[in-house]
Structure 1
Amino acid sequence: MPVVAVLTFALAWWMAGYLLGRDTGRPVSARAAAALIAYALGVAAWTVAPGGTSAQILLCLPALGWAAAAVALVSDDVPERRQIERGTLVLSAIFLVMIVALPGAGRLVALAPLIGGVVVMWRFRDAVAPHRLPAAVATAAALYGVALVVVLGPADLGHPVLALAAMGLDLLVLGYLAAVADAVDAGERLGPDLRRSAVGAVVAILACGGPATLTMLAAPDRGTVVILQFVLVAVVLTAIGPAAHLRRGLDRIAFLHDDHLRRDRAALMLLAEALPRRASRHRLATLTESEFHRHTRRALENFGNPGRLLRSPLIDLPAVDRRLAGQAAKPLARAMELSAVLRDGVTRLKPDGVFGTTDLWRHYNALHYCCVRGLRPYDRWPSTEGLDRDALRALEWFRGEVPRRTMQRWQREGARQVADRLWADLTRADPRWRGRASVSAPPTRAE
């Protein structure tokens, strides 16, 4: 058991850290990571007390996490998405109480929300990218359900250790599928970045997991020793998954009084993180008009983040090339020019005259102040440092008169206008894009 337990725990913990390190703001990645962490803790609890209540509860929680992740795979453009998300949250809370309250095999009720989440995803499978993802998620979820039945079912269906390992494999596959969905949605490459992280995880498991396993075998009846070994493995694998976030945190401490050095190192780390995830130049040529609009909206949302702009397919726009005047600029320079192109697109939305809050101004205000300027009007205590008179008026207007959901709708509408202009420029610059608005692109694959 210790050999299998350490290996499955380490792999699940690493994959969870990798998903969180890619983008903590993505619901699919966050929910899949939560499912993997719950499984890893369940394996540790089962090793200390096989068949214990805590272990059973923890092993059921991934079903709730993946029910929510399956729903999050559906595009935001689906009108029912908001109601589905609310229903998922309420049902997850209800089933969590049931999992804790019911004994033994009764905890298999956790499979009900998982089935529901997969059914919802399948119902809106046309709004999931890539298009083959729903079938893969449904298959892996079904295999996880079978393994959970073997572990918790009333009948003796086999050795639970093998079922636990199979469950971990299924969840790793689901975690990989979440990474694929994230990469496709962001227009990034997955392969190089995942390989780099996986190699580090293998080295860490061999260096740390091996001694931890031997320690558990040498002290099999000492629960405290076993728990400490799992903690050690978790700490080491945490440094592999979200390594970039950890390095930035250490820099804030080590270079607390050296802002210049900290900013320079942050810029270099952004470049190092983004390069393995940056799609090849031909990626732009595969985009349909709807995908182009989506990437434009995402680029505007990430306006103040050069690392994310560097990973955007829009970084290879002809407009960016023209601003560089044919120079073979470094990646960060291209990201800066992309931000300038986006800023110009937003500026074109500005009506004539001084600042206003009429209908003519809503798209410009929503994009210029909340994306380009980086205002956060709906924070409890929004920062006003360095804001001019118009920005302060915009901040007050958003907070007092514009609901958050309305502002987000204006941003989407404004981003569509910016994208339309960029798309028109793209089709003029290269005739290969002409007439592609009505042509469906083949299923996108994460490299």
Structure 2
Amino acid sequence: MTPESPTLSRRGLFRLAAGAGGLALLAGLTGCAPRSTAPIASGAVDLSFWTHDDAYVKFFTEAVPLAEKASPFAYDIHVTKAGAADIVTKLIAQAVAGTGTPDVVGLEIGAFSRTLRGNIAPELLVDLSDAVAPFGDDLIAARRAPFSKDGKLYALDSDTPMTVYYHRADEFERLGLPGTFETWDDFLAAGEKLAAAEGVSLGAIATSDPGGTVQTFHVHLLQRGADLFDESGRATIDTPEAVETLTMLSAGVQSGAIATVSDMYGPGMQSGLKSGKILGVNMPSWYSTYGIQPSAPEQAGAWRIAPLPRFASGGGRTGAGGGTGFAALRNKPATEAGVQLITSTYLDKEQQVSRYKAMGYLPTLRSVYESQELIALEDEFFGGQRLFEVYRDIIDEAPAVHQSENKPIMDTVLSGHLLRAYRGQVSPAEALADAAHDFRGQARG
């Protein structure tokens, strides 16, 4: 499975790398150059592993025995940890230098978009299409899309990060609210009344950081059945679905049904959760671990999750947000060992069950959603609710996320126009038309 020799010159890669975000050499992230260029086919292998998250370090370290049982390799993993954006910058820089690239790398979904410029992804990363072919449709197509280019899969996603409606069940009961809103129109009507009478909001969106501002719009847009880009990476923000999505969010912000915070993890959000001023939020499945529980641990038992309210004119009951894909580097002595480490651990059904139980990351194999062990799990923070029952109910509505090399430009351009609509300075249709125009100009440049 060792890939063919590269065809892109180092000068060409340097040019592409500069367009993908610069080549600053970042302290604290070092790799080990291979001692030999001969492929390692079996036996002991020293494998350089880069990631931004301690949870992945723990998962892969503990999964080594499984990988060794399923492959001819004996792994000695050397971990380097750095920020998600730093990893892809250093990856490209080391590739240009011709040394020090990792054997396996975890690429956060936003960082992965930078590898889509030119031929960076196909030149640096192994095409995993053949490796995953035996899994067929069981490997959820929606989670292949974010890490693919030209029909080839370059990384395996760690999660199926569906969005759900987190809400305070105790406050909902006190206020006479239903546990599930049928439509966003119902949500907005109830939220407007509560904002006026109680000074509380039923939702929240980010409005300061460009990436966060776009993400909280994007998760709703995906639910509506649309996206920022199509399969070819072309921008698709000036559409009726996008206008409907922004119209809903703008109405919620202006009525007080939806609160605005600087970001979904900072002091404003934490204060809103702790004080009971923010009673719900539409965020991905991992937000329980990284957002709500750290912000308001004293509210254990009070929270629940539910499918999202529907848009009246279409879409599903869930969106998507986030994800990290694990990739193997091409033309390394340990390339085949890296591929087998990723596939043998990430596509093992028992490991997918373990990963959800330990990390809260939802399976990427559709068959695992029938696991009675996961369905029966009760979460005490959520009052003993069986969360996996909700995820199982909506998994077939999980939307695909399509990426573009110009995602950073989209974040910068679109975020400002979203804010104009939220403030009522322009209509949602005008905001998105202006954003599409500005994006095309900057992307072309």
TM-score (normalised: structure 1) = 0.25
User: Which has the higher Rg, Structure 1 or Structure 2?
Assistant: 1
Counting helix residues as a fraction of each chain, which structure ranks higher? 1
TM-score, normalization: structure 2? 0.25
